[in-house]
Amino acid sequence: MRHKIIAGNWKMHKTTAEAVELINEIRAALSGDFAADVVVCPTFTALYTASSALKDSGIKLGAQNMFWKDKGAYTGQISSSMLKDVGAEYVILGHSEARGRFGVPEPDFTPEILSYFGESDSTINRKTIAALTAGLVPIVCVGETIDERNAGVTDRVVEEQLTVALETIPSEETCKIVFAYEPVWAIGTGEVCDADEADRVCGVIRSTVAKLFDSATGETVRIQYGGSVKPNNAADLLSRPNIDGALVGGASLSASDFAAIVMAA
């Protein structure tokens, strides 16, 4: 039986003081009474403070990205050991926004600017290996754009993203990864993927992992759905056999909405 996992991606929101305030509100809203694994992922600058605010809450800390090298001349990057040092246990990798693929169009982002976001399946592979080596749980995001969906290549896109992201990683390590199916067109748009379809694509992720490794690994990995998850659609999504949790963006910035999603799990 796979344990449900709800993670909040706070994106580029919240100062340190605001992060503590939100954590205190989430703690009060959940009052220690939840069955799922719960993770919050603040910005890098709020991680250290958030770690103390989460003490004895049962809620885990995650980061929104990392670099795969442990140290060196990599200006502006953060390593897995730095994340561990501030108390992080999870890290989101391959989020579509880090890949330069946005659900809501960014009018002032030219194609040249988008290319500088720079995340690819190969960098995600290196980051996943580095996170696992450090003992962090990677939340590896995959998903198609609206153009890819309309072209009927959703399954192929997801399979290719997974195949490269998991290169050289052994099955016993893969079992520790949390995958997130995040259709790009559903992120931040309010347009949630139909629960049957979300479950179907999560099933494609599971069968791809089974094909790359074995059926036991496919059955073990936890797969979240992410993309406009809200209190009013969470229970339906989370009741599906292949959906083991949710990666929540906008709704994770409201303590009552986030708590309602956790309770739905």
Q: Note the residues at the interface with ligand PEP (CB under 6 A).
A: 9, 182, 187-188, 226-229, 247-251
How far CA 211 is from CA of 123, 183, 205, 225, 265, in Å, comes to 22, 22, 10, 21, 28
CB of 248 to ligand PEP, least distance (A): 5
Between CA 249 and CA 205 the distance in angstroms is 21
Nearer residue to ligand PEP within complex by CB, 213 or 251? 251
Place of tokens 């990677």: 138
User: Which one of 119, 144, 148, 182 is the catalytic residue?
Assistant: 182
CB of 9 to ligand PEP, least distance (A): 4
Give the number of residues written for the chain: 265
Active-site annotation holds for 173: no
Residue 221 CB neighbour total at 10 angstroms:
21
Give the residue ranges of DSSP H helices in the chain: 16-30, 47-53, 80-85, 111-115, 121-134, 146-150, 154-165, 171-174, 195-212, 215-220, 231-238, 255-264
Nearer residue to ligand PEP within complex by CB, 81 or 231? 231
Active-site annotation holds for 106: no
**3-class DSSP state for residue 115?**
helix
> Which single residue brings its beta carbon nearest to ligand PEP?
249
CB of 137 to ligand PEP, least distance (A): 16
User: Which one of 25, 89, 95, 167 is the catalytic residue?
Assistant: 95
Nearer residue to ligand PEP within complex by CB, 162 or 248? 248
CB of 46 to ligand PEP, least distance (A): 16
Between CA 261 and CA 230 the distance in angstroms is 7
Nearer residue to ligand PEP within complex by CB, 79 or 228? 228
Active-site residue set? 95, 182
